[in-house]
Structure 1
């Protein structure tokens, strides 16, 4: 113990805009989980399980982040704390937005369900709190984002935040691929899956290296590596964004229109459309990332031990 004492608790964890955003995340997240488990429910289906997993995981991680920040114990972790927290806040924003859309679509109806109007009202309240929590996480991202003249970690820059969005979009693509997309029918569509996998893996490596504070440990300068990799990802996604629609929707290889006999929710054609749309979304994200990467100057950080 330090005989001179010291400020062991971080008042800014509560008495600051960032602290207020995290307290709001905790309050709204706790309200969502409590209402779902109490009366709103999620029916045990895959969509409901997904929403509940998002809410529980985000609430748990936010609790840990708030505790470590308030006690300053994050200084003992071998990570770049600022990069870690802003990356998580960006991911939580995307996950909460997704859950805030999926839950009301599948569980909120204008009429009262068989369980009564109380259940419907609780589900509406869950949706409202979930939207509020997504705004609270977005507020943390805005408060942590890089500003002129301020030295921050890479994940707080536009390029760093785009990495999180790219990874999230890639997960949406993988989900559609796993939902009966029939990508194994053609070698060209298998190539597209390889492209999605390689780019996602490389993006994940960039995020992990940045969060761990090891950006100065590579022989190839990290800023140069990021730019080269992003350029390669643009070229790969451009090829996949052209190849996938041709081999899925051209009459020679696939079906230009949705088959009338295709069941809703388990139609391969729908999954192919999702993959095609989000391929172009990720292509646009990588192009924007490449443009912003030209303006970044990295400050290499070593993890605190």
Structure 2
């Protein structure tokens, strides 16, 4: 007991729906890592990516859960509520990606004899990873902004959309790096500049919010976010028009997938991925802009 009669440990971090969600995340994450390292396997780049997702999310969840139980966030110069909700949103997206990528690349071949045991382990990994998506989504649902409650910016729909926008931009960068041939035309290089600029500022907004330094900006945070979101929407709109023209128009690119294009590392496929997710991010930024008109920002997390 402390001098004021409070407990050193936070029982609510365990005996609550949020605590149950985090313990489920830890249990499933530990199970996935054990199955993969035991027999399921994670060779090739895609398997390494999935293993990174599972290990990173498990480690971060363990840190978050431990610090909540021990009440250490009150001693840290950051906005803890903004940090945890941003991480849970990111972890949800990462787990969804891993839950799709892993079975696509590790459950394609038929099994026979001893390989069937390995396949069964991989099926178990896929099932556990899929269930863990719901555990992280449940945390997002429990910590999101609710009518009448004062919360940090990252708990609002606009804040959650910022995390999704940055994640989608990472998918675009991955496709750009995978032989997209974006350097062939100046307009496609302009699109890459748009993706990079919007990603950098979005990450900056999230970082400033999590650090609790929004009041350090020379203009009000709400005005800065709305102006940036408006400009990002216009920039993505231009990229959504320019990229398909210089990638799939007969004059500059190839309308259809070439017959001699390899099944993996095909430039046309990468261009298509960039085009699709450019439009996805355009919708996300436009939705963010609309929602930003309806909320009242706060410059610090609630006590």
Q: TM-score range by the shorter chain?
A: over 0.9
Please name the residue that 1:35 is paired with. Answer: 35
Please name the residue that 2:96 is paired with. Answer: 97
Instruction: Output the CA distance in 1 between the equivalents of 2:5 and 2:19.
Output: 24
Instruction: Output the CA distance in 2 between the equivalents of 1:122 and 1:273.
Output: 33
Distance 1:114 1:76, change over 3 A: farther
TM-score w.r.t. structure 1 length? Answer: 0.96
Instruction: Output the CA distance in 2 between the equivalents of 1:113 and 1:281.
Output: 41
> Does the Cα contact within 8 Å between 1:214 and 1:303 map onto a contact in 2?
no
> Does the Cα contact within 8 Å between 2:178 and 2:267 map onto a contact in 1?
yes
Instruction: Output the CA distance in 2 between the equivalents of 1:62 and 1:114.
Output: 38
Please name the residue that 2:110 is paired with. Answer: 111
> Does the Cα contact within 8 Å between 1:78 and 1:303 map onto a contact in 2?
no
1:105-149 residue CA offsets vs partner (Å, 9 max, x unmatched): 111247325642211111111001001111000000000010000
> Does the Cα contact within 8 Å between 1:83 and 1:210 map onto a contact in 2?
yes
Aligned-residue CA RMSD (Å): 1.5
Please name the residue that 1:257 is paired with. Answer: 256
Q: Secondary structure at the match of 1:216?
A: helix
1:185-209 residue CA offsets vs partner (Å, 9 max, x unmatched): 0000000000000000010000000
1:238 is displaced (CA, Å) by 0.3
Instruction: Output the CA distance in 2 between the equivalents of 1:287 and 1:213.
Output: 26
> Does the Cα contact within 8 Å between 1:237 and 1:279 map onto a contact in 2?
yes
Instruction: Output the CA distance in 1 between the equivalents of 2:203 and 2:4.
Output: 43
Gaps of 5+ in 1: none
> Does the Cα contact within 8 Å between 2:81 and 2:301 map onto a contact in 1?
no
Q: Secondary structure at the match of 2:226?
A: helix
1:303 is displaced (CA, Å) by 10
> Does the Cα contact within 8 Å between 1:213 and 1:301 map onto a contact in 2?
yes
Q: Secondary structure at the match of 2:214?
A: coil
Please name the residue that 1:26 is paired with. Answer: 26
> Does the Cα contact within 8 Å between 1:79 and 1:303 map onto a contact in 2?
no
TM-score w.r.t. structure 2 length? Answer: 0.97
Task: Note if 1:48 corresponds to 2:35.
Answer: no
1:6 is displaced (CA, Å) by 3.0
Please name the residue that 1:174 is paired with. Answer: 173
Matches for 1:133-144 after TM superposition, within 5 Å: 133-144=132-143
Aligned residues: 303
Instruction: Output the CA distance in 2 between the equivalents of 1:198 and 1:13.
Output: 38
1:299 is displaced (CA, Å) by 1.6
Matches for 1:67-106 after TM superposition, within 5 Å: 67-106=66-105
> Does the Cα contact within 8 Å between 1:180 and 1:267 map onto a contact in 2?
yes
Instruction: Output the CA distance in 2 between the equivalents of 1:293 and 1:2.
Output: 42
Would you identify which runs of 4 or more consecutive aligned residues in structure 1 move more than 4 Å? 1-5
Instruction: Output the CA distance in 2 between the equivalents of 1:231 and 1:291.
Output: 9
Distance 1:4 1:87, change over 3 A: closer
Please name the residue that 2:282 is paired with. Answer: 283
1:13-56 residue CA offsets vs partner (Å, 9 max, x unmatched): 110000000000000000000000011111x2000000000000
Distance 1:303 1:152, change over 3 A: closer
Please name the residue that 1:223 is paired with. Answer: 222
